[in-house]
Amino acid sequence: MHIQLLLITLIVVFAAYLGASSGQEVPACESSCGNVSITFPFGSGPGCYYSPDFLVTCNRSSGEPIPFFGTGNVVISNMSTSKSEMEIMAFVARDCYNTSGQAGGIRAWLRLRDFRVSTKNKFVAIGCDTQARVSGRRGNVSDGIGCISTCRRNSLIANGSCSGVGCCEASVPEGIRSYNITLRSFNNHRNIINFNPCSYGFFVEEGKFNFSTSNLRDFRSVEKMPMLLDWAIGDLTCDVASQNTSNFLCKGNSKCDQDYAGPGYRCNCVEGYEGNPYIENDCKNINECERGNHDCEHECIDTEGSYTCSCRKGYSGDGRRDGTGCTQDQSTLIKVVVGTSAAAILLLVFVTWLYFGLKRRKLVMLREKFFKQNGGLMLQQRISGDISSNDRAKVFTIEELKKATNNYDESRIIGKGGYGTVYKGILSDNRVVAIKKSKLADQTQAQIEQFINEVVILSQINHRNVVKLIGCCLETEVPLLVYEFIPNGTLSDHIHEKGNTLAITWDIRLRIATEAAEALSYLHSAASVPIIHRDVKPMNILLDDDYVAKVADFGASRLVPMDQIELATIVQGTLGYLDPEYLQTNQLTDKSDVYSFGVVLVELLTAKKALSFDRPEEERNLAMYFISSLKQGRLFHVLDQQLQLNEVPNEIIQVSRLAERCLRVRGDERPTMKEVAMELGGIMASMIQKHPWVQSSSNEDEAEHLLSKLNDDHFEHTNETNTNVNSSTFDSMNQHSILAISSGR
C-alpha cells in the first residue's frame, strides 16, 4: 500500500514538473498568497511551478494566508522574478544557560537546491560569551564562516556596532546552498548570566538589523529574521541550456543573463521591456514616453522596445538632450521674438484681469478650502443617511457665529479643553449656545477625524442627560461646534473648588451620579450604535441651573459595531480615570467607562481629585486609596467633610460598595452601566422613601416618576459586594489566534 502511494506521489510531481517546464502560466494557478505575489517559476499547485524546489504552500488555516517555502515551515515574505531573489523569515539559533551552567538551545539550519544564500545577507551573532559558526556547502565543497563576541559588565558596548563586543558579524561567501548554525560558550555565560544568559546566531538581510545593547537581554522573543535567497533555473549555463529549446525559459523578449556565472541560468527582459522573463511573451514593451523615462527635448514617440524624438516646427536635429538636440532656424527665431512680444502683452492683460477676478472670488474659494480641509465631504457622507430632516444639525455661517460671540471676544470664553476653547454665544433668535472652537495645531488628519467623530456621535444621541448638538460651522480655518448652553459649569467646579461644595448636598450628588449613569447606560445599550465615551470625568459632566447632569465632550468617543464587545485602540483618556485593563491590553470595552465612572463616584463621595501629587504617596491615586480605606473600615475618614456627617448613612455605604465594584481591575467583574444606573436609581428611590424632604420641590415630579418606574420594573437591590456581573452589553467579537510555527530544524 505504501509503495502504491509513493508511486502516485512521484507521478503527480513529475507531471507538475513537465507541465510547468514550458514557462507558461496556468489559468488555475493562484497568483498570490496573503501579501506575496506568486508567479512562475513559482507556483502553489500541480502544473504551476517549474520544479518541486519552486513550490509555494499557501497555509490558510490561521485566517490570513501565509506562504511557505516548499512543504516546510519557512515563511516567504517577498519574491522577485526580475532580481531572482526571494525573502524568507529564517530561524534564529539560540543557546541559553541557567545559573547552574546547564544549556538549552534551538538549532537553525536550511537545505537548498536551486536556491543559495545571498551575499546581500550578513551572518550576525549576539552574546557576551559566544562563539558562532556556520557550516555550509558550496556545491560539493564544505565551507564555513563564523565570529566571536565577548564582553563584560564594564565593556564599552555601542549601539549599532557589531565589532565583536556584544555583537559580531561576518560576510556571506557566494554560493552557499545549505547551512547549519552552531553556538558555543567559552564559560557557559557563568560570569554574565544576570544580564546576558543567551547567545544568538542568524542570517539577516543587510540594513534590516541594527544591534542594540538591549538585545543582550531581550532578544529571546525574536524567532525569525528576514533573509535573502538567490535562485536560478537548474544547473546548466545559458549556452548549454539554450540548446534544449523546449525546456529553455528565456524566450520571446526575454534573454539569458550572460553576466550570471551560475550554477544554473537566469532570464531578464531585454532593454525596453518589462514583465516576468520566465513566461514566454510576458515581457511587454515599456512606453518611455508616458512614463517620462526619456531625454527628448520636445516630443517623444514610443516604438517597440525603444523610442524616438522629434523637434517642433522650425527646428531640426535628433531631438535628444544627450545628442544634437533641436536647433532653431534663423527665420523661425524672428517669428518667435515677435510672437513672444505679443504674447507678453496679452499675458499682462490676462494677469490684470485674473488678479481682480481672483480677489473677488477669494472669500468663496477660501471658504470652500476650509470646508474640505475640515472634513466637510467626509462629514456629509457619514451623516447624510443617519439623521432625519427634523433632527439634522444646522450648518452655521462664519458671520452668524462671529456675531454670536462678538468676534470670539476673550470675555466670552467659558472653558478650555484638550481639543479646543468653548465660547458663550447668543444667536439671532436669542438662543444662548456654547460654541467649541477646535485647536488649530497642524490640522492633521487625526484632528479632523476627531472633530467629525464628535459631530457624528452627537448627531445620533437624543437623551435629556447628554449635551445636545445644535449645529456646526466648517467655513473657518478651525472647525466649530454649536451646543446647547449649560449655565452652571462642570461637576468638577462644584466638588473641587472651595466654597462650591456646600451648595452641592449629598442628595444632589446622588442625583447627578444617577443621571450621568443613565446617560452612559443609554450610550452603551440604547443608542442605535453603541458608544463608548472613553473620557468620563467630572470635567465632562455639565450642570444646569437645577443641577441636572449633562454628559459632554465626545471628542475621544468610539462607535462600537454591534458584533463586537471590544475594540483594539491606542490608549486615550485622562490619567486617574483610565481603566487599568484597557491601559494594559489596548482593548477598549464598555467596562472602561464603568471604571472611569467609578472614579467619579469616589470624587462625589470624597470631593478629592482623582490624581494629585500634593497628597501623601499612598493617597495620590484616589481610586486605590479609597478601595484601601474601604477594606480597612475607614470609610468615614475619607468622606467629604462638607457633607457634615456624624455617621455614615446607609445610602453612602451602598454607593461606596458600588464604586468599589466599578473599580475592580478585571473588567468582567465590574457591573454594566445599565446595572449601575438601576442600582443608583434604587438607592435614590430608597432615600426618598425614607427622607422625602431631601428632594426640593422642583424635583418632586422626577422623584415620583423614578419611584413608579422602579416599581414597574420590579427592581431588586442587593448590598452584596461580590455581585456576579453579566458580560458586556455588546455581542461577542471574533477571536483571533496566532498559530505557533514549529521549527523545521
Beta bridge partners of residue 587, listed in sequence order: 568
Rounded to whole angstroms, what are the CA distances from 214 to 132, 159, 166, 492, 743?
A: 20, 9, 10, 44, 25
Residue 409 lies in a domain: yes
Are residues 594 and 519 part of one domain? yes
Question: What is the pLDDT at residue 10?
Answer: 38
Question: Residue 100: is its pLDDT beyond 80?
Answer: no
Question: Among residues 426, 449, 484, which one ends one of the domains?
Answer: 484
| Residue 651: count of CB within 10 angstroms of its CB | 19
Rounded to whole angstroms, what are the CA distances from 43 to 40, 102, 526?
A: 6, 45, 52
Is pLDDT larger for residue 699 or for residue 461? 461
Cell 422642583: give the residue: 698
Residue 445 lies in a domain: yes
Where do runs of H (alpha helix) occur along 468-610? Answer: 491-496, 506-521, 580-585, 590-606
| Residue 128: count of CB within 10 angstroms of its CB | 26
Question: Residue 26: is its pLDDT beyond 60?
Answer: no
Residue 730 lies in a domain: no
Residue 495 lies in a domain: yes
Residue 105 lies in a domain: no
Question: What is the pLDDT at residue 244?
Answer: 85
Residue 552 confidence class, pLDDT cut points 50, 70, 90: confident
Measuring CA to CA, which residue among 25, 42, 61 is closest to residue 738?
A: 61
Are residues 686 and 556 part of one domain? yes
Question: Residue 572: is its pLDDT beyond 90?
Answer: no
Instruction: Report the chain's mean pLDDT, rounded to a whole number.
Output: 81
The answer to whether residues 155 and 166 touch, using CB atoms and an 8 Å cutoff, is yes
Question: Among residues 169, 201, 222, which one ends one of the domains?
Answer: 222
The answer to whether residues 573 and 556 touch, using CB atoms and an 8 Å cutoff, is yes
Least confident among 24-33, 95-104, 459-468:
24-33
Residue 601 lies in a domain: yes
Residue 142 lies in a domain: yes
Residue 109 lies in a domain: no
**Cis link prior to 41 (omega < 30° from 0)?**
yes
Are residues 569 and 647 part of one domain? yes
Calpha distance 319→535 (Å, rounded): 66
Is pLDDT larger for residue 46 or for residue 423? 423
Are residues 669 and 654 part of one domain? yes
Domain count, the chain: 3
**Structural domain that includes position 429:** 376-484
Are residues 566 and 463 part of one domain? no
DSSP 219: G
CATH of the domain at 600: 1.10.510.10
Are residues 549 and 430 part of one domain? no
Residue 610: half-sphere exposure toward Cβ, Cα within 13 Å: 19
C-alpha cell at 116: 543559495
Helix (H, G, I), strand (E, B) or coil at 226: strand
Cell 475640515: give the residue: 374
What predicted TM-score, i.e. pTM, was given to this entire model?
Answer: 0.47
Are residues 572 and 672 part of one domain? yes
Are residues 558 and 702 part of one domain? yes
Question: Among residues 207, 222, 237, which one ends one of the domains?
Answer: 222
Which distant-in-sequence residues (6+ apart) come within 8 Å of 679 by Cβ? 654, 658, 671, 717
Question: What is the pLDDT at residue 297?
Answer: 86
Strands (E), 172-212: 178-184, 198-205
Give, for 76, the enclosing helix (H) or strand (E): strand 75-80
Are residues 476 and 525 part of one domain? no
Are residues 704 and 585 part of one domain? yes
Instruction: Tell me the range of 22-26, 436-440, 601-605, 645-649 where mean pLDDT is highest.
Output: 601-605
Are residues 655 and 524 part of one domain? yes
Question: Residue 330: is its pLDDT beyond 60?
Answer: yes
Is pLDDT larger for residue 675 or for residue 111? 675
Least confident among 316-325, 382-391, 469-478:
382-391
CATH of the domain at 465: 3.30.200.20
Question: What is the pLDDT at residue 696?
Answer: 43
Q: Which amino acids are annotated catalytic?
A: 535
Are residues 525 and 386 part of one domain? no
